[in-house]
Structure 1
Amino acid sequence: MSDSSAAEEIAAGYAFTGPALDLGALLWDGTCLPERQIRIPLAMLNRHGLVAGATGTGKTKTLQLIAEQLSANGVPVFLADIKGDVSGISAPGAAGEKVAARAKEVAQEWVPTGFPSEFYSLGGIGPGIPVRATVTSFGPVLLSKVLQLNQTQEQSLGLIFHYADSKGLELVDLKDLRAVVAFLVSDRGKPELKGIGGLSTVTAGVILRALTAFEQQGAAEFFGEPEFDTSEFLRTAADGRGVVSVLELPEVQDKPQLFSTFLMWMLADLFNDLPEVGDLDRPKLVFFFDEAHLLFNGASKPFLESITQTVRLIRSKGVGVFFVTQTPKDVPSDVLAQLGNRVQHALRAFTPDDAKALKATVKTFPHSEYDLEELLTRLGTGEAVVTVLSETGAPTPVAATRLRAPQSLMGPVDAAALDAAVKGSLLYPRYAEAVDRESAYEKISAEQAAAEQAAEAAAAAAEAEKQAKAAAKGAPKPAPSLAEQVVGSGLFRSLARSVGTQLGREISRSIFGTARRRR
């Protein structure tokens, strides 16, 4: 096949009839062909994707480019801003020689444009509307991943959640969970789990120590109320463009286990709440999962199975998920198999491990007219190898692509502008202030205090009765003593048996262990 016919065949694979996002122009034999555009069908964005490449190759700009066009087509977008350089999507880009040259190369009509954006932060750490979750909603599976518990400890944590759910003990924040764990290994609490395996003091100690270390890292801020409603991510602006939700994470980038797991909670929460919609002409939301390798590092087999199932099934609810990472090897094969759209930036081959990763990456692509092993090492910044799903669901030919330039600001907005955007949001008053209402900690503390008072009263009454008997031997048998009345009362038996009996019914939980709620 001649060079020109090969290029024509590749370009023909991207000539879609329906709405599509423009990624850039075809690269062939070192030449950019602006008349041959590489695109991705809008309807296929819920078939998930992968944006990969070495550091500095342009992954962030690629997801910014895709997010802009999704917003312009009325599709809401979620972006995790790990390094703090995505906030510029809210402001028009800055014109310059480099931008003009790139636009000319790829036949792009570049117009500086800002897009409607909301900025969030985990628990209010850093700039953004605070995003919080209750411990009950977060669930035992995700929390075990954050606390780095082993399988036995994870099962025990699941038992603790089961008990709290069935007894109506709401785990709003970490002190609630600590209170329930401490109660279940106390003399009064041990009988509660005896019939279903119990909780060893050793395992409880591990969990409590992990919670303490977790709190010392500042994690207490992330759990509490008001709990964030993830349906806020599905909004569109008054002009019909999709709102870009940017989660600002620079302040917590040294806590990768936390923010990567929190992102998974957001995705699982959306999965729980959204109805089945089948195939749509455009997604309801596209969710970009940056630094995806952090989610999978050290993950247990059940955790990975839950991720795979969520990714597989959330497509039918109209949500697309793009994982952003360095190499496809960072993503487990079962998850990678669900990612139909691929944008692969340059890879390095400086070490034997790099070379091995390069070969493995090449094997994940369809048959190509390119020598991918060579091509992937010499792509420039802002260039990538692309293959997507066509409108019929078949993979398109592999295309080396010079990508378009984002129209929004390629860098962060200044701190004052970001703060003004956050505090000017209609959502800010709803979520800004934390609320600490009565939950498991307060209920257990109150019940424990009542039990102690009852025990003290019983002891005092018994002593008084003993003295009375000594002073009045032979007197008629008195009525039941106060101690007997207290110890025999239903209240005391209830306190001795459980702190939460009949307070509520068990919460239904999803495949990820997150609480299923009606909003």
Structure 2
Amino acid sequence: MTKVVDLEAGTLILGGGGEGYRSPQKLLLKYANRHGLIAGATGTGKTVTLQTLAESFSLAGVPVFLADIKGDLAGLSQKGGGDAKLEASFQSRAETIGIEMDYQNFPVTYWDIWGEKGHPVRTTPADIGPLLLSRMMGLSDVQEGVLNIAFRVADEEGLALLDLKDLQSMLVWIGQNAKELSLKYGNVSTASVGAIQRSLLVLENEGGNSLFGEPALELADLIRTDASGKGMINILSAERLMNAPTLYATFLLWLMSELFEQLPEVGDPDKPKIAFFFDEAHLLFNGASPALIGKIEQVARLIRSKGVSVWFITQNPADVPESILGQLGNRIQHALRAFTAKDQKALRLAAENYRPNPAFDTAEAIQHVGTGEAVTSLLEAKGVPGIVERSLVRPPFARMGVISDTERAAIMQASPMALKYGKAVDRESAFELLAKRAEAAAEEARAAKEQAEAQKAAKSGRQAGGQAGDDDLWSMPGEYNQGRRYQPNTKAEPKPRATRASDSIATTFGKSLARQLGTKSGQALVRGVLGSLFRGR
């Protein structure tokens, strides 16, 4: 019997067969970073193929990241076997292929954006960046420009964008200061800001608040091996995530981009640094703009030199754009059903993508292979596409299917990732800093308003005081009434004429002087109040 993984030869056995099959079918680890495709109709065995590939990569010391769409890949953490009937079937197939059956479990780390079935996995808007974020939200060029301005201003102002509310508050601030920002960065339309906010609201409703935050996922925590040298299998729980396709595609595409940007160039290594499986790949391409497809094509073309093996899993090869399909050198095609004319056309196109085998008709084989069988084409020496072959997929070594909550909890508690990512951190960032600025501005406005009201009250009081003094002068008893008519004091004792004249002159002089002083004092008070107001402006 042959071992599934032969590190000396640098091969993984995917399957094989008896008569009419090439046995065994081997994937060269050296060319695994030329990427791959697993396709086939529902129920034809794609998930089992994904599991066996993940097991093989792990045995070769290659870490794996995959999305568990239905929950039935969680069993990779548990040893297979235990069912006599299933064991007999697996043993028979293993003997047909010519491999040694070795039931075992694998090192697994469970992840979940909501933190329910795995450790919380988070990233930040700053890590994703405006380009990828705008393309994933389907923003127009103008809206993308405004989002770029928001990120640029945040950098210049020292406002960290760490979660969704940071980005939303930053856009509010951009809209409020659009006139000033337009002079430096170009037109900032409030309509564009509103459109971006609506797209962020959709993302938030799908679970964006859970995805965006800290502590952010570090790639080094995905690229790990255990004490025995097996590659860590990172399983993202995607049962709930599949109901939020935008969020699902955003996260996985960000992860690919991070691998591309952070990993160093290694050329063609003896084996990949990490294998990345993108299940339900059609969700990424449905309605994708040409710019986004171009971005994915660029990543798929260049990331191989970083030692990353990317595998797309979908029902029909036609779900993947041709520009990207051409980058996938290793292909495992399960059965396709051709019930309609459109299906038949898709079947013929799928068959044309393989190097023909004179022993059988490729389109006929794709239509009639059974469950657990596949038509395969794997890269050979010098990266040449291999001739298409029919193959039995090898049986998995770990458990197939779901695991209990108790088993999952035990794996999570034993993981070092529980302590690192278990608790969310909300440190001071754009939302808090902008809130402080707004509060300070409001306090300053209140203080200015109170000062103005106090000055106005003082001015009114002083003017009222000046008018009262004048009225008192004109209404002195025994001299004048309010109509300024002379009223002799009839109650007073009569005085000599000279004395009365002297008193009249002194009184008249005093009143004249008092009026002049009162008028000048009033004018000085008015100038003082107005002067302080103008100086305060």
Q: Is the 8 A contact 2:79 2:103 kept in 1?
A: yes
Q: Is the 8 A contact 2:203 2:247 kept in 1?
A: no
CA displacement at 1:216 relative to structure 2: 2.8
1:474 maps onto 2:524 in alignment: yes
Q: Is the 8 A contact 1:141 1:303 kept in 2?
A: no
Aligned to 2:53: 66
1:185 maps onto 2:172 in alignment: no
Taking structure 1 as reference, are residues 348 and 27 closer, same or farther at Cα in structure 2, changes over 3 Å only? Answer: farther
User: What is the one-letter code of the residue matched to 1:257?
Assistant: T
CA displacement at 1:346 relative to structure 2: 0.8
Deviations 1:199-221 (A, max 9, x none): 22222222222323332333311
1:211 maps onto 2:166 in alignment: no
Tell me the TM-score normalized by structure 2: 0.82
Deviations 1:3-48 (A, max 9, x none): xxxxxxxxxxxx99821000111566xx456xx3110111111111
User: What is the one-letter code of the residue matched to 1:464?
Assistant: A
User: Tell me, which stretches of 5 or more residues in structure 1 are unaligned?
Assistant: 1-14, 488-519
Aligned to 1:7: none
User: What is the one-letter code of the residue matched to 1:41?
Assistant: L
Aligned to 1:516: none
Deviations 1:341-379 (A, max 9, x none): 111111110112211211111121123323111111000
Match of 1:412 among 402, 420, 444: 402
Aligned to 2:110: 119
Aligned to 1:327: 316
Supply the distance in 2 between the matched residues of 1:445 and 1:118 (Cα, whole angstroms): 38
Supply the distance in 2 between the matched residues of 1:318 and 1:19 (Cα, whole angstroms): 15
Q: Bigger shift: 237-246 or 139-148? A: 139-148
1:256 maps onto 2:306 in alignment: no
SS in 1 for 2:16: strand
Aligned to 2:481: none
SS in 2 for 1:78: strand
Deviations 1:224-280 (A, max 9, x none): 111111221110101111111111111222112211220111111122211111111
CA displacement at 1:108 relative to structure 2: 2.1
User: What is the one-letter code of the residue matched to 1:122?
Assistant: I
Q: Which has the larger radius of gyration?
A: 2
CA displacement at 1:197 relative to structure 2: 2.4
SS in 2 for 1:295: helix
Aligned to 2:212: 223
1:364 maps onto 2:341 in alignment: no
1:452 maps onto 2:407 in alignment: no
Supply the distance in 2 between the matched residues of 1:386 and 1:74 (Cα, whole angstroms): 24
Q: Bigger shift: 358-367 or 62-71? A: 358-367
Q: Is the 8 A contact 2:459 2:529 kept in 1?
A: no
Mapping of 1:111-190 within 5 angstroms? 111-124=102-115, 126-186=116-176, 188-190=177-179
Supply the distance in 2 between the matched residues of 1:20 and 1:298 (Cα, whole angstroms): 38
1:317 maps onto 2:303 in alignment: no
User: Tell me, which stretches of 5 or more residues in structure 2 are unaligned?
Assistant: 1-5, 463-521
Q: Is the 8 A contact 2:64 2:231 kept in 1?
A: yes
SS in 1 for 2:371: coil
User: What is the one-letter code of the residue matched to 2:404?
Assistant: D
CA displacement at 1:474 relative to structure 2: 2.1
SS in 1 for 2:383: coil
Taking structure 1 as reference, are residues 212 and 16 closer, same or farther at Cα in structure 2, changes over 3 Å only? Answer: closer
Supply the distance in 1 between the matched residues of 2:183 and 2:287 (Cα, whole angstroms): 32
Aligned to 1:294: 283
Mapping of 1:498-517 within 5 angstroms? none
CA displacement at 1:339 relative to structure 2: 1.0
Higher relative contact order (CA 8 A, sep 6+): 1
User: What is the one-letter code of the residue matched to 2:41?
Assistant: A
Supply the distance in 1 between the matched residues of 2:331 and 2:319 (Cα, whole angstroms): 14
1:79 maps onto 2:69 in alignment: no
1:400 maps onto 2:390 in alignment: yes
Aligned to 1:517: none
Supply the distance in 2 between the matched residues of 1:340 and 1:32 (Cα, whole angstroms): 21
CA displacement at 1:477 relative to structure 2: 6.1
Aligned to 1:276: 265
1:92 maps onto 2:142 in alignment: no
Taking structure 1 as reference, are residues 231 and 90 closer, same or farther at Cα in structure 2, changes over 3 Å only? Answer: same
SS in 1 for 2:309: strand
SS in 1 for 2:70: coil
Match of 2:421 among 431, 439, 460: 431
Deviations 1:402-461 (A, max 9, x none): 111111111122221012111221111110111111111111111011112112222332
Aligned to 1:265: 254
Q: Is the 8 A contact 1:44 1:389 kept in 2?
A: yes
User: What is the one-letter code of the residue matched to 1:113?
Assistant: Q
Q: Is the 8 A contact 1:27 1:399 kept in 2?
A: no
Supply the distance in 2 between the matched residues of 1:434 and 1:480 (Cα, whole angstroms): 56
1:25 maps onto 2:12 in alignment: no
SS in 1 for 2:392: strand
Deviations 1:68-126 (A, max 9, x none): 111111111111111111111111112522212222221221121111111111141x3
Supply the distance in 2 between the matched residues of 1:308 and 1:437 (Cα, whole angstroms): 36
Q: Is the 8 A contact 2:269 2:307 kept in 1?
A: yes
SS in 2 for 1:218: helix
Supply the distance in 2 between the matched residues of 1:229 and 1:400 (Cα, whole angstroms): 40
User: What is the one-letter code of the residue matched to 2:102?
Assistant: V
Q: Is the 8 A contact 1:128 1:247 kept in 2?
A: yes
Supply the distance in 1 between the matched residues of 2:426 and 2:442 (Cα, whole angstroms): 25
Q: Is the 8 A contact 2:171 2:193 kept in 1?
A: yes
Give the aligned length.
466
Q: Is the 8 A contact 2:103 2:398 kept in 1?
A: yes
Q: Is the 8 A contact 1:145 1:261 kept in 2?
A: no
SS in 1 for 2:104: coil
Q: Is the 8 A contact 1:16 1:41 kept in 2?
A: no
Q: Is the 8 A contact 1:123 1:132 kept in 2?
A: no
1:51 maps onto 2:38 in alignment: yes
Q: Is the 8 A contact 2:178 2:189 kept in 1?
A: no
Match of 2:228 among 239, 247, 257: 239
Q: Is the 8 A contact 1:121 1:127 kept in 2?
A: yes
